[in-house]
Amino acid sequence: MHKNLLGMMAAIAVLPVWVEATHADFIFDPQGDAIAVLGKPGPLLDLDTVALVYDANFLYFEVTFFTPIQSASSGAPNALYGLIDLDVDQSSDSGVPPFQNMWSPPFESLKLGVDFLIILVDLPVPGQVPIVDAADFSVVATVPVEFGPFSIWGAVPLGAISLPTLWGKEDGIVDYAATIGSLAQPTDGGDYAGTSVLIPAPGSIVFMGLAGMVGPRRRRRQ
């Protein structure tokens, strides 16, 4: 069953957060801006949207694409390789610089302090991706993911990524960025950072109610 985060965010209230003006609730990336960063041949995977939402237990993520993708475990030419930078304390003074900045130019240089990474590569275990500490690349969790022809979706336990607490509970608020590509090279990155937003119900219940809402996913900036 496909879980659509953008449809979800369009249907529910969100928690206000205070971040830099370059942030947004979720990331829309322009179509047709994918490039061969290293000049190698191969498919140019083109990023569409990146969305993160959270509830009391999980940080849910969805990345969608203008170009078809397959899992890294498939070994296909258009297999997805990439990552999502997570700044869990919303501070550029801690953590490491965004990995997206390694390729700037041509990608936008972002001001984040990255604490954890969602590695969008389902190897060595097909259908599962690692969550790693950005400081030393140690694996803090491995989570199942679902691939669609143009998307990847998964959920990270909040307890795995050492989030700050609010009134004794993890607040779930994370700034994030994404870089994607093929095995050969990075091909696209988001132009700005996003901030995760609260879903005021257990994620599984909300997803069941909104599954199949593909219209909002394809809404583009004009």
Q: For residue 65, what is the domain's CATH number?
A: 2.60.40
Amino acid code (one letter) for 170:
E
What is the CB-side half-sphere exposure of residue 130 using CA atoms within 13 A?
A: 11
Q: Which residue matches tokens 């491995």?
A: 142
More confident residue, 216 or 120: 120
| Residues 122-131 pLDDT 10s | 999 999 999 9
Q: What is the domain range of residue 129? A: 5-218
CA–CA distances in Å: residue 13 to residues 10, 25, 101, 149: 8, 12, 32, 29
Query: What residues are paired with 43 via a beta bridge?
Result: none
Which pTM does this prediction carry?
Answer: 0.82
pLDDT of residue 93: 85
More confident residue, 175 or 8: 175
CA torsion angle 153 111 95 4 (round to 10): -10
| Residues 16-55 pLDDT 10s | 332 333 456 889 999 999 999 999 999 999 999 999 999 8
Number of domains in the chain: 1
42: left (phi over 0), alpha (psi -120 to 50) or beta: left
pLDDT of residue 24: 64
Estimate to the nearest angstrom the gap between the alpha carbon of 216 and the chain centroid.
Answer: 17
Provide the pLDDT confidence category of residue 64 given band limits of 50, 70 and 90: very high
Burial of 167 (0-12, 13-18, 19+ CB in 10 A): exposed
Hey, which of 19-28, 91-100, 132-141, 163-172 has the most confident mean pLDDT? 132-141
pLDDT of residue 108: 86
How far apart are the C-alpha atoms of 206 and 42, rounded to whole Å?
A: 38
Cβ atoms of 70 and 78 within 8 Å: the answer is yes
Cβ atoms of 193 and 177 within 8 Å: the answer is yes
How far apart are the C-alpha atoms of 200 and 204, rounded to whole Å?
A: 12
Q: Quick check: 138 pLDDT over 50? A: yes
